[in-house]
Amino acid sequence: MNRLVEIRSQESFCRERAALDSNRRVFWLAQAEEWEQRALEEIAYHFRECNLAHAPLRA
């Protein structure tokens, strides 16, 4: 989950830059959206791994 914290930190950084850099606002918001998508993918991966680890063994 440390990776998720890093990804969310990058997303937050991009959103802060968007607020401060009006000339490149669209760029920074697009970057933030990419980081947000990575975060969602990381969460999905984590849950898939957890589900596999706790799945009952079938014979």
Domain ranges of the chain: 2-54
How far apart, in Å, are the Cα atoms of 34 and each of 3, 9, 54?
A: 15, 13, 31
Rounded to a whole number of angstroms, the distance between the first and last alpha carbons of the chain is: 32
What confidence score (pLDDT) does residue 58 get? Answer: 64
Q: Report the C-alpha dihedral over residues 14, 17, 23, 27, rounded to 10 degrees.
A: 0
Question: pLDDT tens across 22-53, in order?
Answer: 999 999 999 999 999 999 999 999 899 888 87
User: Cα(44)–Cα(41) distance, rounded to whole angstroms?
Assistant: 5
The helix/strand/coil state of 54 is helix
